[in-house]
């Protein structure tokens, strides 16, 4: 982009992660002229939307809004993949919740799934042991199985959304946008970039993931908390199909707070601990996995998947969640600018909801409403506190 050029668009979206990509795509679908910017590229290695895979599930405890948003999102993901000729970017592995007797979150999930008319099955401990002999279950275990849920191939999925947005007329550029001055207010006319460009638009959407608190430190520096998260792929035994679909679903072990995915595309058996790690800077944190995290993952494998006791780590990733105080998303107008919108706070569970976030955000920017996704105060800036107290999982 020419450093002296001034461009005019209906909307500029800053950030080509899953939230920004879907917001740009949806805005363009609705007729807006759109420019999508990203400093490093769609779902790049630093981004929370990067990496190989993400779970798409319908279960959310008592938070039925996220169940409905997931149910709304999955057909849109599949539709876009079909248009792009990339149906392999959704893997219908099924999702298995492994709960224990009296587990409140699992019981609430059952009720929400039933109320939303999502498809699921409930398994007793005996049924779990019969169906999944490669997993060690506690004597009080029981399960919820979502047969139509599974895995989104994350990095390539975001790249496909950006490609489809461009195919219908959205513009895209690798540029690093500079946030407006903290004291400014009213109506933002343009954003400057690190290359010297001045880009004007009718509205601006900042969907910058873990960079949002760096872009708006006074407003979000103590309301969005990027945390270090480590995950691992373990090599499965040669010729062993027990850890690949259909024998192995995507799973969430609620008692241990670990989750994982089967061996997809021969990359290995993926596992991760869902606890929040230490606060980090997405530009500066080390991307090398820690010895403690490797040891914890191996201990879990040995206990729950004993056939993988000696499995080697074939790949590791270090990324980050960008958590709000509760885990609810941030999709709201900037308090100082009538034409600036903040979209973020994926909080480790947001990827699956990309199409729904895009639709909700696009409606807000264009001054309309979505019949399927009505306004919800839990996505407002006013509900974001300065202390982490995670409530959404």
User: Quick one: average pLDDT of 90-101?
Assistant: 98
353-377: average pLDDT = 95
What's the farthest any 2 CA atoms get from each other in the chain? Answer: 69
Q: Which segments of 276-383 does DSSP mark as H helices, in order?
A: 291-304, 354-366
In a domain, 63, yes or no: no
Q: How confident is the model at residue 7 (pLDDT cuts 50, 70, 90)?
A: low
> What Rg value do the Cα atoms of the chain yield, rounded?
21
CATH number at residue 12: 3.50.50.60
Domain that holds residue 199: 6-49+155-223+326-383
Helices and strands of the chain, counted as H and E runs:
9, 19
Answer yes or no: do 239 and 358 share one domain: no
Examine the pLDDT at 197 and tell me if it is beyond 60: yes
| Same domain, residue pair 192 and 269 | no
Please say if the pLDDT value at position 1 is more than 60.
no
Please report, for the domain that includes residue 305, its CATH number: 3.30.9.10
CA distances from 43 to 49, 104, 205, 250, 351 (A): 5, 35, 17, 22, 11
Residue 140 has pLDDT above 70, yes or no: yes
pLDDT in tens, 215-249: 999 999 999 999 999 999 999 999 999 999 999 99
What is the structure's pLDDT at 182?
82
Q: Are residues 143 and 246 in the same domain?
A: yes
In a domain, 57, yes or no: no
- CA geometry: angle 67, 70, 71, nearest 5 deg: 85
Q: Is residue 352 domain-shared with residue 311, that is, in the same domain?
A: no
- Checking if the pLDDT of 183 tops 90, the result is no
* Same-domain check for residues 236 and 279: yes
Domain contains 308? yes
Q: What is the mean pLDDT of the chain?
A: 96
DSSP element (H, E) containing 100: strand 95-100
233 with 316, same domain: the answer is yes
- Give the Cα separation of 106 and 99 in Å (integer): 6
4 — pLDDT class (breaks 50, 70, 90):
very low
Are 240 and 142 members of one domain?
Answer: yes
Q: In this structure, how many other beta carbons lie within 10 angstroms of the beta carbon of residue 293?
A: 19
| 296 within domain boundaries | yes
Give yes or no: residues 319 and 241 share one domain: yes
Q: Are 190 and 337 in contact (CB under 8 A)?
A: no
The reported pLDDT for the residue numbered 350 is 98
pLDDT at position 172 over 50: yes
CB 354 within 8 A of CB 21: yes
Average pLDDT over residues 288-314: 97
Residues 168 and 310 in one domain: no
Interval 36-88: pLDDT, tens:
999 999 999 999 999 999 999 999 999 999 999 999 999 999 999 999 999 99
Tell me which of 305, 323, 341 is where a domain ends. Answer: 323
Q: Is 317 in the same domain as 231?
A: yes
Please tell me the pTM assigned to this model.
Answer: 0.96
> How many domains does the chain fold into?
2
Is 20 a domain residue? yes
Which class for 347: exposed (0-12), middle (13-18), buried (19 or more C-beta within 10 A)? buried
Give domain status of residue 349, yes or no: yes
pLDDT of 107: 98
Does 297 reside within a domain? yes
Establish if 83 belongs to a structural domain: yes
């Amino acid at each position: 982009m020419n450093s002296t050029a001034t461009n005019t668009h209906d909307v500029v979206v800053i950030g080509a992660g899953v939230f920004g990509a879907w917001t740009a795509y949806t805005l363009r679908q609705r007729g807006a002229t759109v420019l999508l910017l990203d400093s490093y590229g769609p779902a790049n290695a630093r981004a929370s939307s990067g990496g190989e895979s993400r779970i798409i599930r319908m279960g959310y405890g008592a938070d039925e809004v996220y169940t409905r948003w997931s149910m709304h999102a999955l057909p849109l993901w599949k539709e876009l993949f079909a248009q792009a000729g990339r149906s392999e970017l959704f893997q219908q592995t099924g999702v298995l919740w492994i709960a224990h007797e009296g587990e409140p979150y699992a019981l609430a999930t059952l009720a929400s799934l039933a109320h939303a008319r999502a498809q699921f099955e409930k398994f007793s401990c005996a049924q779990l042991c019969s169906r999944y002999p490669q997993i060690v279950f506690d004597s009080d275990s029981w399960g919820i199985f979502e047969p139509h849920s599974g895995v989104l191939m994350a990095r390539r999925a975001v790249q496909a959304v950006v490609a489809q947005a461009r195919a219908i007329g959205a513009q895209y550029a690798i540029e690093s946008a500079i946030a407006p001055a903290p004291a400014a207010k009213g109506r933002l006319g343009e954003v400057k970039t690190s290359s010297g460009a001045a880009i004007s638009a009718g509205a601006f959407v900042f969907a910058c993931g873990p960079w949002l608190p760096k872009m708006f430190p006074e407003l979000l520096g103590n309301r969005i908390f990027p945390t270090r998260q480590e995950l691992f792929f373990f090599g499965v035994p040669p010729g062993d199909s027990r850890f690949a679909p259909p024998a192995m679903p995507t799973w969430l072990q609620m008692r241990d707070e670990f989750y994982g995915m089967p061996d997809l595309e021969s990359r290995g058996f993926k596992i991760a601990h869902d606890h929040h790690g230490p606060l980090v800077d997405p530009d500066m944190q080390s991307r090398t996995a820690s010895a403690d995290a490797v040891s914890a993952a191996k201990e879990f494998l040995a206990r729950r998947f004993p056939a993988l006791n000696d499995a080697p780590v074939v790949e590791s990733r270090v990324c980050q969640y960008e958590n709000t105080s509760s885990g609810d998303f941030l999709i709201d107008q900037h308090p100082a600018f009538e034409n600036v919108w903040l979209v973020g706070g994926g909080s480790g569970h947001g990827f699956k909801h990309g199409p729904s976030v895009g639709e909700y955000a696009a409606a807000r920017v264009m001054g309309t409403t979505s019949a399927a996704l009505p306004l919800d105060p839990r996505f407002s800036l006013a509900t974001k506190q300065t202390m982490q107290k995670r409530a959404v999982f």
